[in-house]
Amino acid sequence: MKLLATSDLHLGRHSSLPFEESDPGLTASAQTWHRIVDLAIREDMDALLLAGDLVDQSNRFYEASAELEKGIRRLVDARIPVVMVSGNHDHEVLPELVQRLQGENTPSDEKGPSDEPLVHLLGRNGRWETRIITARNGEQFQVTGWSFPEQQSRYSRNPMETYEPPPQSGLVSVGLLHCDVNQSESVYAPVASADFNETGLDYWVLGHIHKQIVWRESAPEVFYPGAPHPFDAGEVEAGTVRVLDTDGGSSVVPVAPIRYVTLVYKVNDGPESRMRGEFQDELRAVAENPAIRSDALQLLVMTVRCRGTVSVLNRFMEMQGDHEGAYITVGEDLRAVVRKWVEEPQVETDLEKLAENSNPAGLLASWILHIDRNMAAGVAAAGQDGGEAEYPEELRELLDAFRNEYRTLAAHGVFKPVVNGGQVPSEPTAEMIESQFRTRAMTLLQTLITQAEDRK
């Protein structure tokens, strides 16, 4: 059997872009949902597994619910069973939808063999439920699932505490759960990765986290398929679904028409035409990356982190002009748009030699070297393996001030700091603070060096 697994569609939401897209359907998660339905029908999938948050709570009863129902009815017409659990966003919508689809007026052709329904919502009201499903090819498999209670968008208890292995049936067995793995303080069904080890199932399809994560590769295979549609620059790994082949192995299939990517670009000095050409080459290389490129992809939304000396970066950025939000054609059916340019000045100077001086540049070089050595040793300021970073008193005080500054900024809803293209939590780690402080110190150091050279 081939089982298509996904979660976190959040129908009703749109991708965030730095401009007004002329084709709003491109940013809508509904378009990706219908691509998933197309894929299931075209590739003769035997069932579709959905692990919660299928609609977005802010628009749950209108656009979202209608699009979900439209897709499910297409799957029913193709005789493909749909098995789902609800998450923290759709715990009210899904029971209503399934009741409507399985109601007294449901046409008989919306049922499977022996009048078995083709649409299943498991584990209502936070109670584990196991059901045997007849796949499209006539084979049977077993699914166990738990759904968020209908009146609770938050659930602080571990649902695995009430789990009991289902009776052994000899069938392929799958678990569906919307949960937060290894986050004990979470209010979204916190579980431990070890909770799945002895559950007696073959697969666990999890929802809630928007990036692909495989917690366990051997039986039971435990994974987050990730969100099939990305919504902001922090979701660089979203955009795919997972196909389980019960005869062995699983695969990841890109389905989103839009992807967020981060390009780290080393800017080399040279004639303007060469600088433009080298950047275009880098852009094409990203677009052709097999991990990103797919027939579904139409738009790349890029964060470009430019590295080089201050003078070279200034030339490059002046040459680019105000191109944030401007389209760049990279292929016949693929466009790119730069949502943000990030300048990361690099010092092409011997830091060790520079640190021998007592001037401001020497002091900055010394601090950067301290941080580099600490990070290379893998010992964070907060302490790993019981150790603590050894920093001069002035540097420790500055890092503490920087940490407090970060917390103040992060407390504002409009402030969304990012590191390596991923959204950063409001409580920073010591390594994160050191890395960001080092970047700022490097920028200041390069500026001092450039100013000194200009005075010669």
pLDDT at 47: 97
- Give the residue with greater pLDDT, 297 vs 422: 297
Torsion, Cα of 77, 80, 86, 88 (10° steps):
-80
Pick from 337, 342, 332: which is nearest to 308 by CA?
Answer: 342
Q: Give 356-393 pLDDT, tens digit per residue.
A: 888 888 999 999 999 888 877 764 444 444 445 678 88
The Cα–Cα gap between 143 and 159 comes to 16
The Cα–Cα gap between 63 and 41 comes to 23
Pick the CATH number of 2-256 from 3.60.21.10, 2.40.50.100, 2.40.70.10, 3.40.1180.10: 3.60.21.10
Pick from 157, 141, 95, 97: which is nearest to 122 by CA?
Answer: 95
Pick from 203, 184, 116, 128: which is nearest to 159 by CA?
Answer: 128
Q: Is the dihedral of CA 421, 425, 427, 430 positive or negative?
A: negative
The amino acid occupying position 57 is: Q
350 to each of 131, 345, 346, how far by Cα in Å?
66, 15, 12
Q: Give 155-169 pLDDT, tens digit per residue.
A: 899 999 999 999 888
- In the numeric block, the tokens 């509904």 are attached to 30
3-class DSSP state of 263: strand
| Secondary structure (DSSP) of 316-333 | HHHHH-S-TT-EEEEETT
The Cα–Cα gap between 450 and 440 comes to 15
pLDDT at 425: 54
The Cα–Cα gap between 256 and 273 comes to 34
| Mean of the per-residue pLDDT values of the chain | 83
Give mean pLDDT, residues 260-272. 88
The Cα–Cα gap between 420 and 264 comes to 9
| CB-based burial, 339-348: b 16+ in 10 Å, e otherwise | bebebbbbbe
Instruction: Kindly report the backbone phi and psi dihedral angles of residue 213, in degrees, each rounded to the nearest multiple of 5, phi listed first.
Output: -140, 130
Burial of residue 252, with CB atoms counted within 10 A of its CB: 0-12 exposed, 13-18 middle, 19 or more buried: middle
pLDDT at 415: 46
Give me the sheet containing 258-266, strands edge to edge: 258-266, 299-308, 334-345, 327-331
3-class DSSP state of 73: helix
CA angle, corner 250, sides to 206 and 162, nearest 5? 25
Lowest mean pLDDT among 53-62, 104-113, 223-232: 104-113
3-class DSSP state of 50: strand
Give mean pLDDT, residues 74-102. 87
- Give the residue with greater pLDDT, 85 vs 310: 85
CB 191 within 8 A of CB 216: no
The amino acid occupying position 164 is: E
The amino acid occupying position 58 is: S
- In the numeric block, the tokens 């063999």 are attached to 113
pLDDT at 341: 84
Lowest mean pLDDT among 108-117, 149-158, 204-213, 226-235: 108-117
CB 1 within 8 A of CB 172: yes
pLDDT at 192: 94
pLDDT at 98: 83
Instruction: Kindly report the backbone phi and psi dihedral angles of residue 40, in degrees, each rounded to the nearest multiple of 5, phi listed first.
Output: -60, -40
pLDDT at 323: 59
Q: Which two tokens stand for residue 400?
A: 């503490």
37 to each of 46, 47, 311, 405, how far by Cα in Å?
12, 11, 51, 47
Pick from 158, 240, 249: which is nearest to 203 by CA?
Answer: 249
Lowest mean pLDDT among 40-44, 119-123, 204-208, 406-410: 406-410
